[in-house]
Structure 1
Amino acid sequence: MTSATTTAAAAAATAKRRANGIRQGDITRLLPRPLLITVITVLLVIVLGPVIYMLFSSVNSDVAVAGGAFFPTELHFDNYIKVWSTVDLGNGLMNSVIVCVSVAVVCAFLAVATAYVLVRYEFRGRLTFLRSLLGLQSIPGTLILLPVFVLFSSLATILGIQIIGTRPALFITYLTFALPFSTWVMVTYLRGLPKALEEAARIDGASSWRILTRIVVPLSWPGIVVSGIFAFLLGWNDVLFASVLTNPETRTAAVALQVFGATQEGGAIPLYGQMMAASLICAVPVVALYLVFQRYLVGGLTSGGVK
């Protein structure tokens, strides 16, 4: 009797929603469908508008872009060829890839090891260390630039080796700034992993290192990917530290674009087409990175959010 009553009530509610023009999936929507489509369209225009403008300008003439033309009047695909000789883009991309990939790999695996200790072991100062990870994220990079420069200069004097102007200087700087956030991401992720697997491995005689490398790391790839991508983007998009800690041979792609843009200010018509082409070329690795690791990003960012 109770089951029949419940079924009848559910059928009546469904019929009422159909009568009112409401479908089952629409109950969970925060906005009505027309308004939702409008909001999504506006957001897409805001996000994709500048990218489409850059794409059109990269194959347009400099005079047309300077005149405010949106669509190309003439197609100049040679901008993508000329930019390699106009800008030191090849060397900048090579330096950016070497430094950023190294930072991403080292930061990701240091973060998972540090987070494993913070999550699975109890020791004095653990909570203070966890809170300090968040506090370090609130310090602006502009306040740290001068101390980092002075520190590297002092170390170079003491050790008798060149630090400023080298890739290791950028590597150490980016790793220092990316590690706190990456560690916190991994702490959040590892809290959601079941301890039963680790306990079973310990019963079988596995050491902490073996548990970390054979159980924790294979189960933590979404969080590791998020940590690595964050570290990669931190170095790839940085201009402030890279412009101070590099020289013309070790400058990154972001600094090469900045220098190219600064040389185009004033005087004749700037090389707008080549500037846009260089910007799009530098954006390709980041877009490819997101497309390759997209399925890991969702799991890594949302893990630990529901308990």
Structure 2
Amino acid sequence: MTTSAPPITVAPTGRSARRRGTGDVYRLLPRPLQAVIITILLCVALLPILYVLLSSVNSDIGVASGEFFPSSLHFDNYIKVWSTVALGNGLMNSVIVAGGVAIVCAFLSVATAYVLVRFAFRGRLTFLRGLLGLQSIPGTLMLLPVFVLFSSASSALGIPIIGTRWSLFVTYLTFALPFSTWVMVTYLRGLPRELEEAARIDGASSWRILTRIVLPLSWPGVVVAGIFAFLLGWNDVLFASVMTNPDTRTAAVALQVFTVAQEGGALPLYGQMMAASLICAVPVVALYLVFQRYLVGGLTAGGVK
């Protein structure tokens, strides 16, 4: 009497197993419902941008009447806006100030975070808590103290400070450096100490370790810190409207002045205002697209140990 052996089942391996495991474990919603939710979120995010894009090539009367799709295209709005508002000067000032703050803040935050993470000294935790506490202070509360401080320094030194790019540079650096330092502290905590210890055994100094080992491995965190510092200077209107003059206005202040100036007219220049808004948004979008790979790595640093 012979008995047949039960069939041998082979567990799926390789790509098929990963597909099944991924689908069973991580898919929380059915695929059709997931597609609907993603479509709704995309519409919520992209419809305002599409409206601004279509309004920038529409006539002022068309925008005022509520047209979504323009009845006639007016691409000359992108040409007229350069003569209507001092947008070129504002963009140049924004690039100089925000770009300088981003570069200086990124590299200063690396050095500061390296000292706070790798060296133990008295007051280190207090310093870290102070950096965190500075993030909870609203910028509106600091406007008057900063203005009075710069005015007093200008009177004492005999040099103009208010109305210069240097005043904005120092102001933005003061507010951006604590956050950038926290970003780099989180990133450097995930770097292995063995690389630095091996370099010290070979006789490398702390400065050489920072520039030759830590900095090359920290580029994702440096990019994140620099981009956030750049956005702080690019989007700010509060400090830039108080500490600048018509020659040093940033792009955000130029847009604000342009919008306010059009409120008293018979028909605001809606098309040019939309075109100017898109022109000011292009550098930020390009920055994100260029450094997207570093942004993902820098923002997720420290999430998995």
TM-score by length of 2: 0.93
Query: How far, CA to CA, are the matches of 2:36 and 2:243 in structure 1?
Result: 46
* Structure 1 residue aligned with 2:80: 82
* Structure 2 residue aligned with 1:135: 133
> What is the number of equivalent residue pairs in this alignment?
294
Query: How far, CA to CA, are the matches of 1:280 and 1:182 in structure 2?
Result: 27
Question: 291, 297, 300: which one pairs with 1:299?
Answer: 297
- Post-superposition CA distance 1:176-209 (Å, at most 9, x none): 0000000000000000101111111111111100
| CA apart distance, 1:164 | 0.5
Query: How far, CA to CA, are the matches of 2:146 and 2:197 in structure 1?
Result: 43
Question: 116, 123, 126: which one pairs with 1:125?
Answer: 123
* Structure 1 residue aligned with 2:28: 30
RMSD: 1.7
| CA apart distance, 1:40 | 1.2
* Structure 1 residue aligned with 2:205: 207
* Structure 2 residue aligned with 1:195: 193
* Structure 1 residue aligned with 2:239: 241
Residue correspondence of structure 1 range 105-254 to structure 2 within 5 A: 105-254=103-252
Aligned-partner SS, 2:265: coil
Give unpaired runs (5+ residues) of structure 2. 1-5
Query: How far, CA to CA, are the matches of 1:238 and 1:301 in structure 2?
Result: 23
Aligned-partner SS, 1:69: coil
- Post-superposition CA distance 1:181-240 (Å, at most 9, x none): 000000000001011111111111111001000000000000000000000000000000
Query: How far, CA to CA, are the matches of 2:21 and 2:125 in structure 1?
Result: 45
Structure 1 consecutive aligned stretches of length 4 or more whose deviation exceeds 3 Å: 7-11, 22-25
- Post-superposition CA distance 1:238-292 (Å, at most 9, x none): 0000000000000000000000000111331110000000000000000000000
**Is 1:66 paired with 2:64?**
yes
* Structure 1 residue aligned with 2:43: 45
Give unpaired runs (5+ residues) of structure 1. 12-16
| CA apart distance, 1:133 | 1.3
Question: 271, 274, 295: which one pairs with 1:276?
Answer: 274
Which residue identity is paired with 1:188? Answer: T
Query: How far, CA to CA, are the matches of 2:68 and 2:22 in structure 1?
Result: 40
Aligned-partner SS, 1:269: coil
| CA apart distance, 1:130 | 1.0
Which residue identity is paired with 1:214? Answer: R
| CA apart distance, 1:9 | 8.5
Query: How far, CA to CA, are the matches of 1:113 and 1:266 in structure 2?
Result: 51
Aligned-partner SS, 2:120: coil
Query: How far, CA to CA, are the matches of 2:218 and 2:140 in structure 1?
Result: 33
